[in-house]
């Protein structure tokens, strides 16, 4: 008989709807039930594509004896971390404070008022490798609660107080000027893996935001080192098993330091962020360094950008026009089952000759690079026969499609869809794919019509039904950034208006009182938790504050009253300045925004874009403009587009107006003049 999760909108919660555990969703009623029974709360937090979440579910949550023990001694609450990142942040802070590490599944024991007294992550069903068995842990918690409940409650109260104090702490402000940005690039370089790319050792995560910063740093300074670190990392990731050589798209991370064996889940946010990086790298490589001749390495990043966009639109698109959150790490409970190959499997699909050729090309060995003699597919060098490779790739993909497929978490998360909107709008405009821009507009329409309820954002939807969880700060920042990118790609004023509306809500409801530029991750009228989380570090995704700072900075040169957005962006960047300089690997989005800030941001208002000469000038501007430049096309004095106001045609010809901050050059009408103004000037 299904439990209370059967009515949930989260695919992760629905995975547990048939567990024998009497799960509750996070609710006041669940806490009231714990108080009524005088039992602790078992809080389990995870997400649908999480491998070890599935393992713990199969081992413990589906076991009837374990379920009976949980039901007798606890109120069990299940939370999707992607649907409720605020709850996840609060209790992840507790888990890290108690254990020195974090991750999912996250397992916390709370008092009936939500204060944590014991936290951990995965627990096996019986003791293993120094970890207590889950049922053993349940026994210990129940015994402590019954026999020493006052002490447990007192300790939980002290833990909650310390967590609240830590959450309220701020870093000392510091400038994020050109010197600080140069030092950050040097610090990143010190940890660069010159052989395999990336930073640090295994496991290796795609450093998408750090790469974006390095590309912008190169464009501002001409640093070959920054460009080299970015290019080598992008090439090694794209040639390894981290990247899907048959269908495009990146897995979440590599378990080794060489990008060979991935953790196979494919997340929307990784692929949106990496689409931007590869599209921008393709632009830089094709345009050449500092206006010089094109680099001969533009083909790989362009191919990867196009294939990654194809993966998003083919495999993550929902019928309503949004993007699903993820593809699962497992297939039928086995990680990599869909994706790994043996030489004999290649020969079975391709025949002996093509099978041997493909095995050599894709590094599929008799010993295997993965498990049980199978290999992930790598493309360590471009094939010498492109036509043959395309035929082989198509045949292998067709055969793979007949295999069991990983599950899909089709929840549409506002922030991650905002990233997808931004990536598709920017990449589509830059690389000449108007169909990507159209897809971005469709997603933006969905988010503004379904996720915006009475003027306030919701976190997610599924099957067109919006969830009850309210939007957090990164939902506002990432969606605003996406809408601003869409405004630039199309010139349509409605996207600018929608973006500034979101920014105004964020400034009103998320700002920390008496601390300019500081923001909570939850709104002032959101559900009260143990404390209001404040995250400053960029991790797998931009933190809410850096996402908002980026959007505020872009809006400052697009909106008619942009001065207040500029003030807020500058204050936010100063608040993160210490983090950005001392720990640049965890401040990539902050540093990317700061690079745009120190350049103005650069602005290109292009009037007459509807004419052939104007369209050519616009394409050139998008091709050569450094990252972070604001480019807006349209007609002179287009209604609702302040950047085009009082900017007429020049001698009846389309013209580009280039500005740096508050200082503008004379308008130009030819690509050569635009290059001189936009790129060659120091």
Contact in structure between 209 and 592 (CB atoms under 8 Å):
yes
Q: Domain containing 661 — which CATH number?
A: 3.40.30
Same domain, 363 and 423: no
In a domain, 551, yes or no: yes
Pair (494, 415) in one structural domain = yes
Residue 97's nearest CA partner among 170, 169, 166 is 166
Mean pLDDT, residues 580-605: 95
Per-residue confidence (pLDDT) for residue 290, from 0 to 100: 41
Which band of pLDDT confidence, cut at 50, 70 and 90, is reported for residue 296? low
Q: What is the mean pLDDT of residues 68-85?
A: 96
For the record, the structure tokens of 230 come out as: 């970015």
Q: How far apart (Å, rounded) are the C-alpha atoms in residues 399 and 570? A: 53
| Backbone dihedral angles phi then psi of residue 411, each to the nearest 5 degrees | -70, 135
**pLDDT value, residue 294:** 47
Nearest to 227 by CA among 236, 215, 238: 215
Pair 551, 613 in one domain: no
Q: Are 637 and 589 found together in one domain?
A: no
Summarize pLDDT for 489-522 with one digit per residue, the tens. Answer: 999 999 999 999 999 999 999 999 989 999 999 9
Q: Which pLDDT value is given to residue 1? A: 58
- By C-alpha distance, which of 524, 605, 589, 588 is closest to 552? 589
* Helix, strand, coil in percent for the chain, rounding step 5: 50, 10, 35
- Structural domain boundaries, residue 663: 602-680
* Rounded Cα gap, residues 573 and 591, in angstroms: 9
Radius of gyration in angstroms for the set of CA atoms belonging to the chain, rounded to a whole number = 26
Residues 377 and 245 in one domain: no
The band of 163, judged by pLDDT with boundaries at 50, 70 and 90, is: confident
DSSP state of 576: T
What CATH number has the domain bearing residue 241?
A: 1.50.10.10
Mean pLDDT to the nearest integer, 412-424: 98
Q: Are residues 439 and 358 in the same domain?
A: no
Together in a domain, 120 and 208: no
Q: What is residue 625's DSSP assignment?
A: S
Per-residue pLDDT tens digits for 175-209: 999 999 999 999 999 999 999 999 988 999 999 99
Report the pLDDT value the prediction gives residue 479, as an integer from 0 to 100. 98
* 173 domain-assigned: no
C-alpha–C-alpha distance, residues 558 and 640, integer Å: 10
> 5 and 39 in contact (C-beta within 8 Å)?
no
Q: Work out the number of other CB atoms within 10 angstroms of the CB of residue 431.
A: 21
Q: Where residue 30 sits, what CATH number does that domain have?
A: 3.40.30.10
Determine contact, residues 7/89, Cβ cutoff 8 Å.
no
**pLDDT of amino acid 330:** 87
Structurally, the chain folds into a number of domains equal to 4
Residue 544 makes CB contacts below 8 A (sequence gap 6+) with 472, 473, 474, 475, 476, 477, 510, 519, 521, 535
Q: Please give the Cα distance from 133 to 71 (Å, whole number).
A: 17
Average pLDDT in the chain:
94
Residue 307 shares a structural domain with residue 426: yes
Q: Over 70: is that where the pLDDT of 289 sits?
A: no
| Residue 202 and residue 160 share a domain | no
Distance CA 212, CA 230 (A): 8
What is the 3-state secondary structure of 368-387? CCCCCCCECCCCCCCCCCHH
Mean pLDDT, residues 261-269 = 96
Residues 318 and 357 in one domain: no
Q: Are residues 158 and 113 in the same domain?
A: yes
Q: What is the pLDDT of residue 291?
A: 43
Rounded CA gap, 254 and 257, in Å? 7
Residue 562's H or E segment, with its range, is none
Give the Å distances, CA to CA, from 639 to 450, 492, 499, 636: 27, 9, 16, 9
Could you read off the pLDDT of 627-641 as tens digits, one per residue?
999 999 999 999 999
Strand, coil or helix: 139: helix
Assigned token pair, 185: 């690039």
Q: How many residues does the chain have?
A: 682
**Residues 375 and 448 both lie in one domain:** no
Q: Where residue 298 falls among pLDDT bands split at 50, 70, 90?
A: confident
| 334 in any annotated domain | no
pLDDT at 681: 53
Given strand 663-664, what is the order of strands in its sheet? 630-634, 602-607, 655-660, 663-664
């Amino acid at each position: 008989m299904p439990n209370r999760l059967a009515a949930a909108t989260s695919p992760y919660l629905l995975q547990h709807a048939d567990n024998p555990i009497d799960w509750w969703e996070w609710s006041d009623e669940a806490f009231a039930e714990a108080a009524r029974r005088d039992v602790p709360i078992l809080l389990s937090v995870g997400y649908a594509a999480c491998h070890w979440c599935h393992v713990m579910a199969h081992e413990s949550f589906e076991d009837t004896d374990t379920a009976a023990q949980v039901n007798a001694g606890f109120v069990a609450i299940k939370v999707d971390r992607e649907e409720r990142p605020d709850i996840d942040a609060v209790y992840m802070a507790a888990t890290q404070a108690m254990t020195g590490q974090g991750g999912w599944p996250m397992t916390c024991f709370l008092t009936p008022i939500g204060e944590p007294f014991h936290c951990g992550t995965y627990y096996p069903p019986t003791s293993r490798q120094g970890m207590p068995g889950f049922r053993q842990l349940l026994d210990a918690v129940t015994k402590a609660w019954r026999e020493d409940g006052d002490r447990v409650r007192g300790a939980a109260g002290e833990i909650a107080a310390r967590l609240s104090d830590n959450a309220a702490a701020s870093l000392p402000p510091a400038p994020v000027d050109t010197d600080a940005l140069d030092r950050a690039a040097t610090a990143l370089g010190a940890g660069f893996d010159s052989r395999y790319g990336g930073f640090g050792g295994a496991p290796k995560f795609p450093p998408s935001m750090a790469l974006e910063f390095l590309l912008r740093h190169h464009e501002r300074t001409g640093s070959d080192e920054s460009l080299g670190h970015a290019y080598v990392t992008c090439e090694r990731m794209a040639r390894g098993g981290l990247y899907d050589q048959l269908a495009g798209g990146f897995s979440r991370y590599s378990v080794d330091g060489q990008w060979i064996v991935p953790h196979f889940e494919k997340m929307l946010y990784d692929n949106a962020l990496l689409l931007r990086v590869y599209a921008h790298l393709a632009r830089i490589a094709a345009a050449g360094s500092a206006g010089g001749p094109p680099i001969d390495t533009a083909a790989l990043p362009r191919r990867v950008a196009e294939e990654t966009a194809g993966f998003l639109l083919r495999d993550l698109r929902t019928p309503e026009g949004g993007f699903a959150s993820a593809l699962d790490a497992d297939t039928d409970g086995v990680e990599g089952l869909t994706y790994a190959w043996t030489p004999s499997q290649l020969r079975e699909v391709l025949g002996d000759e093509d099978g041997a050729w493909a095995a050599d090309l894709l590094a599929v060995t008799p010993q295997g690079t993965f498990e049980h003699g199978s290999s992930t597919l790598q493309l360590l060098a471009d094939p010498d026969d492109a036509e043959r490779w395309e035929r082989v790739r198509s045949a292998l993909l067709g055969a793979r499609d007949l295999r069991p497929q990983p599950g899909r978490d089709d929840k549409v998360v506002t922030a991650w869809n905002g990233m997808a909107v931004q990536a598709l709008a920017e990449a589509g405009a830059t690389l000449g794919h108007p169909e990507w821009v159209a897809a971005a507009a469709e997603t933006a329409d969905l988010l503004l019509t379904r996720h915006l309820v009475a003027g306030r954002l919701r976190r997610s939807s599924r099957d067109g039904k919006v969830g009850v969880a309210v939007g957090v700060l990164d939902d506002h920042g990432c969606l605003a950034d996406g809408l601003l990118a869409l405004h630039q790609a199309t010139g349509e004023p409605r996207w600018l208006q929608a973006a500034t509306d979101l920014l105004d809500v964020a400034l009103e409801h998320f700002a920390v009182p008496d601390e300019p530029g500081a923001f909570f991750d939850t709104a002032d009228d959101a559900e009260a938790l143990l404390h209001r989380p404040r995250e400053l570090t960029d991790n797998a995704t931009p933190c809410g504050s850096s996402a908002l700072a980026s959007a505020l900075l872009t809006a400052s040169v697009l909106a008619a009253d942009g001065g207040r957005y500029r003030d807020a962006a500058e204050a936010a960047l100063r608040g993160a300045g210490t983090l950005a300089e001392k720990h640049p690997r965890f401040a990539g989005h902050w540093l990317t925004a700061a690079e745009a800030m120190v350049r103005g941001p650069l602005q290109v208002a292009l009037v007459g874009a509807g004419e052939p000469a104007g369209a050519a000038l616009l394409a050139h501007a998008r091709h050569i403009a450094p990252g972070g430049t604001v480019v807006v096309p349209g007609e002179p004095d287009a209604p609702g587009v302040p950047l085009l106001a009082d900017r007429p045609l020049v001698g009846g010809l389309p013209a580009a107006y280039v500005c740096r901050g508050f200082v503008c050059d004379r308008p130009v009408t030819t690509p050569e003049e635009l290059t001189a103004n936009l790129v060659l000037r120091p």
